[in-house]
Structure formats: C-alpha cells, structure tokens
Amino acid sequence: MTIKHELWINGEHTAPDSGKYFDVLNPLDDSLYCTAAEANANDVNRAVEAAHACFQRYGKTLAKDREKMLCKAADLLERDQAHFIDILIDEIGSPINKANFEIQYAIGHLRAAAGVARRVTGQTMPSDTPGRLSMSVRKPLGVIAAITPFNVPLIKAAKLVASPLATGNTVVLLSSEEAPSLSYRFAQLLHEAGFPSGSVNVVSGFGVDIGDTLNTHPLVKTVMFTGSSRVGKHIGELCGRHMKHAVLELGGKSPLVILADADLELAVRTAVFGMFLYQGQACMASSRIIVEEAIYDKFLAAYKAAASQLSLGDLREMSTILGPIISQRQRDRVRRHIDNAVEHGATIETGGNWQGHRCEPTILSGITQAMEVCYEETFGPVTSVYSVKDYAAALEMANDTPYGLSAAICTNDLNKALDFTDQVNAGMVHVNAPTLHDEPHVPFGGTGDSGFGREGVEVDVDALTEWKWITIQLPTADAGH
C-alpha cells in the first residue's frame, strides 16, 4: 500500500486545499515511494497562521520546558532511528553509511539545541543618566520559515527547526518535493516529544509555486533556506524588500589543495570521502582538487585506483558508497557536465559510465574555463583534478570561484596551512581533513554565492532573536522631600 502524506498543520494531518497530491519516486529505479499533498497558497497561509497563533503562547514558555522537549525528541529519534534510516535509503537513495551519519548528526543537534534554551540571555550596562537601570533582553522573532533540500533532509530539518524552537519561535517547514517523508515524520516526532500543536507545521509541494507565498508572508519574520544559489539570491531579494532576516546556505565549488609534502595516503582518503560521499550530492563536495605538480601523477594514479574500487552495491550494505542520483533532471545535469567537458577536450580519467541511475565515480582532467564543470556545481560524483606549479598558484586557483563555502588543504607545512586558512575565500577551512564536515555547534556557512549568514546552535541565538533595550528610572533618595 502506497504511503500518502497529508499536510501537517496545527498538530493535525490536513488535506490540501487543492485536493492534489504528487508522486515521490525512489531514485534507485523511479518506482513510486509515496504520494504527498501538494500545498497551495491557502495551505501556506493556514500553516503560517497556525504557527503565529501558537507563538503567542509558545514564545512565553520556560527555557527548562523547551530544553526538556528537545532532549525528549533526541531520545525518540534514537529510539526510531531504524525507521528514519529506511526513509533515507528508500526516499532519497542514501547508502546506509550516509544515513547513519545523518541520524547521529540530527540526534546530536537536537541535544545541542536543548542547551541553547538557557543561553538566550541579555545584559545590563551602565547608563549616562544618574539613577537609571539600563538593560537589554533577547526576544524571539515569531514565525520562522524553514526550507530544506533533498540531500540531507533530516540534518536540515534538525538544524532549521530545533534552534527556532529552542529560542521560543515557531516554524513552518517547506520540505523538498523529493524528500517530504522525513519532514513529516520529524514533525510528528516533535509533537510526540511535547511540542504544542502549531509550533511546527509542514507543507509539501513545489517551491516555484508556493515558495514566494511563504517567504513574503507578513507573519514570517525570518527565512532559513538551504538550496541552490540561484534560488537563494531570489529569496534574499524578497527578504530585503520585505525587511526580513534571512539565513541562506547555498551551493559550492569547494577546493581541496594537495601540496607536494602531503601524506599521499591521507590525501587520497580525504579526496575520496570529500567528493564521493552520497554520490557527490553535497554542497561541500571536493569538486575541484588542486595538486602541486611534483606529486600530481602519483596522486592521480592513486586517486583513480581508489575511486574505481568504490562500491555501487546494495544501499543497505555498509561497503556501499555510491547510490543513485536523485532525479532525472539531476541525472541530465550530471551527464551534460561530463559530455560538455569531453566535447571541449577534457579527459575522463576514470568513471563517466552509468549503472542504472548511478553514475560511476568520475574524475576529469584537462579542465578549462570553457567547460560548464569548471565553475558550475554538478551535484554528482564528478570532480576535476588540476596540476599547479606551487602553493601560490594553488591558492589563486582555489579562490577563482564565485562560491566560498568550504575549502581544505593537505600539507605538513604548518606555515602554508595557516596561510591557506587565512587567505582562502571560504566560510569553512579544514587542514588535512575533507571539505565535507559539519558539527552542531560550529558557525556553518559560506561567502559569496555560497550564502549569507551562518547556521549552528552557537550563532543561531543571534539569528533567531532580536534585542530590546529597557531602562528603568529608579527613584532618588530625596524623592519624597
């Protein structure tokens, strides 16, 4: 029997206003996985109004109660992790290793967010007026719009919902049309954990149809979006026009620099993990690997050998690394980038072939600026390897991109490593580690076309609350005389 998802509004399964549902396909073979409600503008309005009504009460809840519910949610997710793993495998084609990572991250993020509730603190400050008490307090904003992608739907649901709840806000979550099941199941788990009806609402559908309705709704105070740079820029324009806060985590063309003195085995492992986890469908993927010429041939041979051995097996086998590309549209994009590169003179060092809906791990060389893959994000298991003369040339190439999400360098030269962390244009930099990394408490995000603002429980307090300055004129000692 096919799973059918209704909208989740005000703590209830709610039929869509249009009566329409859309198919969600298992990317392994495009078989029907579930159907989901196709929300329209009326549904979005209902969800936002439910969140706003709940905020009138929820915004006044005690920190200890929000903390308790988030801890309970983490426990419930730990209890139900096998079910969530099944959804990650069957709905979005996650190999089980990636699914396990996503579950553990989400559990950790819920627990980290629980601690945020007690860190929503203000301050007292001296006043220039005698006898005046001056202080500032933080207040929750209200309704937060959270828009999540298909590739890490549980991680992003945890990120973009837990911190708003921890800081006293309520949420309307618009899930990716390719991954609605995780969002609906996660919202119901939060309801079971004690979060009141209306605190978390989920609508599914197509962003092109209802995204602007949500983002421009007068009761929505902040938009938190993860997705493409093109859509992110559009959302940023809308938020600016309507004087809304925005946190935008967008695309990347992340460089991994490998210097001649690097540990070759470590460099290869770093390049394999950083590029091919979840078949390259990650904004932090190492899609540009820049190698000092002295070790280029040796690295390329080792990297090709390692990549060609990666398993495209059963998604529930721990040895499997690469799964299917999410949709036909995205498969066409991956094919186009490979074909365009070859047409313009690039060499396929390994891969380039398909097994069903899976693209083999593909390494390209001879990339030039005339090729789409040079600057555009492929979002598949396709990376380009470049040879450069020295560290200076590597740094220059690393910065030759409008993106600025993540970067990494493999070297045993501490001076060059520290210089790279200082000079590379990226919001996150890793030394002797992959470009692909995240933790709940860090300031996650990028610069340029990679986004605006940062995610993470430590910085979320600033993004999700606003300051209010309060003064109290105290009576003077001789007021009665």
Spot the catalytic one: 91, 249, 349, 360.
Answer: 249
Pairing mode of beta strands 447-448, 403-404: antiparallel
Whether 288 and 154 share a structural domain: no
Residue 226 lies in a domain: yes
Whether 94 and 196 share a structural domain: yes
The DSSP element (H or E) to which 245 belongs, if any, is: strand 245-249
- CATH number for the domain spanning 425: value is 3.40.309.10
- Please name the amino acid found at residue 325: I
Whether 229 and 243 share a structural domain: yes
SS3 content of the chain, % helix, strand, coil (to 5): 40, 25, 35
- What's the token pair of residue 356? 């069903």
Residue 475 lies in a domain: no
**How many Å apart are CA 433 and CA 311, to the nearest integer?**
22
Residue 213 lies in a domain: yes
Residue 368 lies in a domain: yes
DSSP class of residue 164 equals H
In which region does residue 418 sit, left (phi positive, over 0), alpha (psi from -120 to 50) or beta (all else)?
alpha
Whether 157 and 87 share a structural domain: yes
Residue 444 lies in a domain: no
Residue 442 lies in a domain: no
Q: What is the pLDDT of residue 477?
A: 63
Residue 241 lies in a domain: yes
- What's the token pair of residue 277? 């986890």
Whether 39 and 181 share a structural domain: yes
Range of the domain at 83: 3-250+450-469
Residue 249 designated active-site:
yes
Residue 78 designated active-site:
no
Work out the angle at residue 446's Cα, subtended by the Cα atoms of residues 443 and 452, and round it to the nearest 5 degrees: 90
Q: pLDDT truncated to tens, each residue of the chain (481 aa)?
A: 789 999 999 999 999 999 999 999 999 999 999 999 999 999 999 999 999 999 999 999 999 999 999 999 999 999 999 999 999 999 999 999 999 999 999 999 999 999 999 999 999 999 999 999 999 999 999 999 999 999 999 999 999 999 999 999 999 999 999 999 999 999 999 999 999 999 999 999 999 999 999 999 999 999 999 999 999 999 999 999 999 999 999 999 999 999 999 999 999 999 999 999 999 999 999 999 999 999 999 999 999 999 999 999 999 999 999 999 999 999 999 999 999 999 999 999 999 999 999 999 999 999 999 999 999 999 999 999 999 999 999 999 999 999 999 999 999 999 999 999 999 999 999 999 999 999 999 999 999 999 999 999 999 999 999 999 999 999 876 655 5
Q: What is the pLDDT of residue 1?
A: 78
Whether 9 and 138 share a structural domain: yes
Whether 47 and 145 share a structural domain: yes
Residue 474 lies in a domain: no
Whether 236 and 273 share a structural domain: no
Whether 138 and 158 share a structural domain: yes
Whether 124 and 175 share a structural domain: yes
Spot the catalytic one: 239, 283, 359, 410.
Answer: 283
**How many Å apart are CA 398 and CA 294, to the nearest integer?**
18
- CATH number for the domain spanning 48: value is 3.40.605.10
Whether 221 and 369 share a structural domain: no
User: What total of structural domains would you count in the chain?
Assistant: 2
Half-sphere exposure of 470 (CA within 13 A, CB side): 12
| DSSP state string for 401-470 | SSEESEEEEE-S-HHHHHHHHHHS--SEEEESS-S----TTS-B--EETTEES-BSHHHHHHHHEEEEEE
Whether 24 and 148 share a structural domain: yes
